Structure 1
Amino acid sequence: MPGPRHDRSDTLDKEERKNKSKTSVIRRTASDVIVVCLVCLVALSGFRIYTALKSYRADRSVYESVSEQASASGDSIDFEALSSINPDVIGWLRYEGTAIDYPVVQGQDNEKYLGVLFDGTKGDSGTLFADCVTEDPFRQFNTIIYGHHMKDGSMFAGLKKLKDPDWAAGHPVIELFTPDGNYHLQVWAFLNQPSDSNIYTTNIKSEDSQRQYIELIEKLASYTTDVSVASGDSLAVLSTCAYEYQNARYIVVCKIVPWE
């Protein structure tokens, strides 16, 4: 008696349906995994944004308190009060049209104040600080001041506005208060340089070396203003991260002149 006949097409259909079912399961699983990953990424991004905003608020609160204690609303600063908070204080910078309205310190190294606020607490905003090797801040030929470029516009982020020479023309003076007197920083040059630029040379004493430094700035600057600068002058070199390429820095060079 002949055995049962197997329809090859039925077998192929079953295999095809089985394969399609497997493919469908794989696709659903992959889709679920992608959705879970996206949800995790959104949650992580949200957490990071929340953490950053919380940090900005905390740092801003500290500096608002410092400003109140220093009575930093007029043409004078209470440096005695500031010194009681932080004896490293050497000045105060204020720049109309930006958020720059902060104390300036000088520490034993150039690392501490990258992550420490003026009151000594830890904070991503750090503190504006003069290069630690500066021998006579604001009175020697050039004084380099560093500050973070914070994404909320605080600290030295406002220096980016000086990329535009027209904006600089409308905001030509930065105010500097020190325990020994008040000064105007007359904006002279804007540069975009790497962090290892020779612009960061300090304690330049000979007249010839000072002249070469001025010539270097004129050569590298995106623009210079009509401020007259010569050897023997005092310059403030303000530096912050530029984020335009690796280790890029915005540098604003100003002539320091006493208030009249």
Structure 2
Amino acid sequence: MKNYKSIICVVAAVCLLGTAAFCGFRIYHYYAEVDEQTETFEEIAEMVEQAPTDETVPDDAPVSEGEDVLAKYQKLYLQNEDMVGWISIAGTTINYPVMQSRNNPNFYLKHNFEKEYSYLGTPYVQENCDIAESDNLVIYGHHIKGGKMFGALEDYKSKSFYEEHKNIQFDTLTEQEEYEIVAVFKTVAYSSEGFRYYDFVDAENEEDFNSYVGKCKELALYDTGVTAEYGDRLITLSTCEYSAQNGRLVVVAKKVG
């Protein structure tokens, strides 16, 4: 009987050690990939910063008729034509290409710029948004610890941080554009109790637009003193927020200039 109990204990110990080793490997693999992908994004950002300004996009890679890709994004666009823009916020780690895969929604939630599987994913525009025409571009990014990807948006819970970081740079492939933050709020996704901000892409009319902006202001964590009017172009940044199940932290901004 004692031998039987000893065998059970040994088997349990082996299973426990195996589970611990597996969990340890998964954790190590996760952080190793975070570091690797962070370095890759830094290299991509460096390519943009160092790109010459006098190149013209090759004839075989037009964005749309009559428009040319901005010189600093040409090389990246030729590498992956799913790229639709670039987002950055001065004083934060947010400095990334923005993708869109209309025929494969949420593809970049778990894929990097090279279309390889990645925990970090790549910021991307909701599939039903038209980059050139939509009233509101919904842009998603993972909330990664250490301020990586859209994890840096967590700081916008503080009004003092907002006061020092009021603007967002979101360039399309053909235009450099600046946006001013209108509201920062928390909600829950996929729930009747939450605000379905991701449903607002094109305003049916002025009332529809004002209703969206009004709800954003109503839920806002603080008053920015900024609002948006019908005809303004919006971006809505969305990332996970962990104080509630399916929580979301959302930053809404309007185009200026």
When normalised by structure 1's length, the TM-score is 0.79
Q: Does the 8 A contact of 1:62 with 1:119 survive in 2?
A: no
Computing the radius of gyration from Cα coordinates, the structure with the larger value is 1
Counterparts in 2 of 1:208-247, with a 5 A limit? 208-247=207-246
* Range moving further from structure 2, 42-51 or 226-235: 42-51
Structure 2 gap ranges (5+): 54-69
- Aligned-pair identity in percent equals 29
What's the offset of the Cα at 1:64?
A: 2.6
Cα 1:77–1:194 shift into 2, 3 Å: farther
The alignment covers a number of residue pairs equal to 235
**Equivalent of residue 84 in structure 1, options 78, 88, 94:** 78
1:107-163 CA-to-partner distances (Å, cap 9, x unmatched) read 1132211111112222111111111111244x5321110111123431111111111
2:125 paired with 1:126: no
CA distance in 1, matches of 2:138, 2:71: 21
Contact between 1:191 and 1:221, CA under 8 Å: does it hold in 2? yes
Displacement after TM superposition at 1:29 (Å): 7.5
* In 1, Cα distance between equivalents of 2:39 and 2:186: 31
Superposed CA offset, 1:156-203 (max 9, x none):
111111111111111111222223322222122111111233211212
Structure 1 residues 74, 148: closer, same or farther in 2, change over 3 A?
A: farther
Among 13, 26, 44, the alignment partner of 2:22 is 44
Q: Provide the rounded CA distance (Å) in 1 between the counterparts of 2:136 and 2:223.
A: 17
> Relative to structure 1, is the Cα distance of residues 208 and 74 closer, same or farther in structure 2, using a 3 angstrom cutoff?
farther
Q: Give the secondary structure class of the aligned counterpart of 2:33.
A: helix
Quote the Cα distance in structure 2 between the aligned partners of 1:85 and 1:182.
20
1:139-178 map, 5 Å: 140-178=134-172
SS at match of 2:49: coil
Distance 1:140 1:72 in 2: 31
Q: Does 1:184 align with 2:162?
A: no
Deviations 1:68-105 (A, max 9, x none): 33236999861211211111222111112322100111
1:46 Cα deviation after fit: 2.1
SS in 1 for 2:244: coil
- The structure 1 segments of at least 4 consecutive aligned residues displaced by more than 4 Å after TM superposition are 28-38, 72-77
Pick which of 105-114 and 70-79 moved more: 70-79
SS at match of 1:71: helix
Q: Aligned-pair distance for 1:36? A: 4.9
- 1:6-25 → structure 2 map (5 Å cutoff): none
Query: How far apart, CA to CA, are the structure 2 residues paired with 1:33 and 1:223?
Result: 56
Q: For residues 46-73 of structure 1, what are the alpha-carbon distances to aligned partners after superposition, in whole Å with 9 as ceiling and x for unaligned?
A: 2122111121123223323322332369
Residue pair 1:141, 1:205 contacting (<8 A) in 2 also: no
Q: State whether residues 121 and 142 of structure 2, in contact with CA within 8 Å, keep that contact through their aligned partners in structure 1.
A: yes
Distance 1:170 1:45, change over 3 A: same
Q: Secondary structure at the match of 1:222?
A: coil
RMSD, matched Cα: 2.7
Please, what TM-score do these two structures have when normalized by structure 2? 0.80
* Contact 1:114/1:126 (<8 A) preserved: yes
Structure 1 gaps of 5+ residues are 1-21
Structure 1 230/72 Cα, relative in aligned 2: closer, same or farther at 3 Å? farther
Whichever residue aligns with residue 106 of structure 1, its letter is Q
- Partner of 2:34 in structure 1? 56
